[in-house]
Amino acid sequence: MEPVANPTAFDSPAATQPAPPQTLLRAGTWSVDDQRTQVRLSVPNMIWGTVRGTVAVASATVLVGHDGHVQDVRAEIDLNSLDTGIARRDADLRKPALLDIDHHPMMVFRTHDIDFQEQGWAVSGDLEVRGRTVPLMLTVAQPDEESATALHVVATAELDRRSAGIRAPSFLIGHRISIIVDAWLDAP
């Protein structure tokens, strides 16, 4: 009778399966299609439940290196396009104590680091809002559509409004603002 080898974790089918491939992109500067790209915001509110709104991306670029991986992301968000569906609330959000849009009409995001993970990318950077620079971590899901000319990505983040100097009682505006970026990138 031949001896039976003890199975190990290395012999299991799961251990021999390769990790899902990362999406490798064409090298160059990808531009964001501002007509199809949208930033959605939501914040809890004790009176109205969750308040939702959208803002437009004025411009954005994604730099991809020769290895096919994203190296840099820069985006400008046009706060003048803010739309919560209620004009009076939008006017209130423009005020100096909140977004101060008359003095700071744009939010700007710039990356510091991109960590490629099995499920997508973790993108850390700075968000300039209201004349302040605050750290922001975006979680980018693996792209779900790719063609020779375009790529669709979805990123999520959470921002503590107090770090950006947005002052309001927490029963009016919750501390955490959820951000979803639904972006279409045009190939270089």
| Domain-located, residue 159 | yes
- Choice between 5 and 41, residue whose per-residue pLDDT is larger: 41
State yes or no: pLDDT of 116 exceeds 50.
yes
| Domain-located, residue 4 | no
| Domain-located, residue 3 | no
- Choice between 171 and 7, residue whose per-residue pLDDT is larger: 171
Count of structural domains within the chain: 1
d(CA 142, CA 123): 13
d(CA 154, CA 180): 7
| Domain-located, residue 139 | yes
| Domain-located, residue 7 | no
Pairing of strands 120-129, 106-117: antiparallel
| Domain-located, residue 117 | yes
* pLDDT value for 17: 37
Note down the domain range covering 40.
28-186
| Domain-located, residue 1 | no
Residue 93: which CATH number? 2.40.128.110
First-to-final CA distance of the chain: 64
Answer for the pair 111, 124: CB distance below 8 angstroms, yes or no: yes
pTM above 0.85, yes or no: no
What average pLDDT does this structure show over 67-93?
A: 93
| Domain-located, residue 134 | yes
What average pLDDT does this structure show over 70-98?
A: 93
Tens-digit pLDDT profile for residues 17-75 = 334 445 678 899 999 998 999 999 999 876 778 989 999 999 999 999 999 888 999 99
Q: In this structure, what is the dihedral angle of CA atoms 84, 77, 66, 16, given to the nearest 10 degrees?
A: -30
